[in-house]
A and B are shown apart, each in its own frame.
Chain A
Amino acid sequence: MPEWLLKDENYQPLPDRDTFIDKSILSLLRILSRIRAQSGYTGGKHSVHAVYKVACTFLLIVLLSVSRNIWFLAAVGAYLLAALSLMSADRIIRVIKAGLIISFFSFLILLPAFLMGNRYSPVMIPLKTLATVTAVGILSHTTGWHAVTGALKSFFIPDIFIFVLDITIKYIVMLGELSLDLFYSLKLRSVGKNVEKYSSLSGIAGTMFLKSKEMAEDMYSAMECRGFTGSYRVRRRFRFTPADFLYIVVHILLITIFVYLG
């Protein structure tokens, strides 16, 4: 054993600005926890089937963009508020926050039109944006990623496309966890003044690239060993529940309102 290892280190670190490590860790944690929470969402046995949710959300977005009637918008708003009220408080905040931010930006873009005397578009378009983003937010906060990708099967999306989507989400999480550990390690080993901060970051990026390449090659080999020939079948399981029925009735009602109001 070298002598220095047998003694306690007499070391007092110098201050250094490396908040970027903490910020990177925090943002990675935020993304990973969101994906995990979203992927883990099953909705329970009374939840609406993902196929109906995806189809009805798509339909709602089309109707919203086509409609020029403020009362239809009000009806959709009422429905979305009712759907939001069934969610937990933190999810409601996240959905509304995203909707408000995006609709605010669309209002900013349309502000010159409002100042030039156009009173219709600067009100309608941000409201439509708010409703659209809220509808998508509700879908993504109440349906797991795999359920959404699985639902695409019903819309004749090729299986291989669904497969690629599933794998992409899986590897975002895996590589995210790897990069999180790399940042943890960089933080733990940054015990003093690092004059080459950016070279550490490029080292992390390089490791990530090599690891993703290795994972891709491993997966290719594994798929070959398992007899993968390019076709991938997504299994659909359908059981029509009262929740599905209620959900469809509400959307038929919204279509009726849309047609009635013109």
Chain B
Amino acid sequence: MIELNDVSYSYEGIPALKRVSLRIEKGESVALMGVNGSGKSTLLKLLNGIIFPDTGEYLFGGESITQKKMQDAVFSKHFHQRVGFVFQNSDTQLFCSDVYDEIAFGPRQMGMEETEVEKRVEDCLALLSIQNFRHRQPYHLSGGEKKKVAIACVLALNPEVLVFDEPLNGLDPRTRRWFVSFLIQLHKAGKTLISSTHDLEMVQEIATRAVLFDEKHTVAADKPAQELLEDIDLLKKVNLIDEFYHKHPGAGHQHFHIHPF
């Protein structure tokens, strides 16, 4: 479904991605891991057609995604309907007067009847447990609530691929747990998920595959998530963890963690 061949990108001469090759199949849940500044967010922008590779090729559904092609409004709109992007900062995603209009923004543009729009909005509100916010102004919601509204806006478009940039940042533990189970549900529903994250616990729970970026902006590893999380030496080498990261053998429920000092 998604194919990157030898893709490089730089910001005014400063490299952000170097010769990245990646293939993501429909229905996969892929976690992009790496330290800050390793190129994860740049890759997400590239996957969403916001920026374009300096060299290399990006294919979506077998079609090459280029700047020229994205200038074709119909192609670009169809592409954006198929790939939904949830920004790290939800504030940047919300610009309508209330939550209902915010979620209805996409379906209305898709030319749906108002009854169908209403059904879709109500479904999204229920799915994200935000029915009570229907008439609230998005700007006055809390961080977790804004995140839920931002996800609802993207879900209302029913994209095939959902891209999340650091989805757990700034969320309280309860909302984080809710969010992890929500992503699992979405994955089970057949959606292709791509999430960039530092949260190794989240990777363990939601991702079937993990792609690790190093500080040189290249792909250091692309493996099944569990296998990559077990590769402690590699995670240390890319500076994602320190020497205190471990798990206890023999315990019933096993996960990696650190002990507070």
Contacts and interface: CB of A to CB of B under 8 A. Distances in A.
Interface of A: 1-2, 4-9, 11-18, 22, 33, 36-37, 178, 181-182, 184-194, 200, 203-204, 206-207, 210-211
Given A182-B92, A203-B96, 7 more contacts: A12-B74, A12-B78, A16-B73, A16-B77, A185-B95, A192-B81, A192-B110
A200 B78 contact: no
Interface stretch (B17-25, B150-158, B214-222, B226-234): B150-158
Contact of B185 (A1, A194, A206): A1
Interface string B35-67: 000000000010010100000000000000000
Closest 5 CB pairs of A and B: A192-B109, A203-B95, A181-B92, A13-B77, A2-B123
Contacts of B97: 203
B179 interface: no
A28 B82 CA distance: 26
A213 to B, nearest CB: 11
A8 B96 CA distance: 26
Contacts of A182: 92, 95
B12 to A, nearest CB: 6
Nearest to B123: A2
B93 A33 contact: no
B91 A211 contact: yes
B189 interface: yes
Interface of A is mostly: helix
A2 B116 CA distance: 13
Question: Which of the listed residues A5, A14, A210 has the most CB atoms from chain B within 10 Å of its own CB?
Answer: A5
Contacts of B28: none
Contacts of B81: 9, 11, 13, 191-192
Interface residues of B, number: 43
B85 interface: yes
Given A182-B95, A190-B109, A9 B157 contact: yes
Nearest to B110: A192
Contacts of A194: 109
Contact of B189 (A5, A22, A178, A210): A5
A188 B82 CA distance: 10
Contacts of B82: 9
Contacts of A206: 95, 139
A181 B95 contact: no
A4 B191 CA distance: 12
Contacts of B175: none
A186 B76 CA distance: 13
Nearest to B89: A181
Contacts of B73: 13, 15-18
A141 B48 CA distance: 34
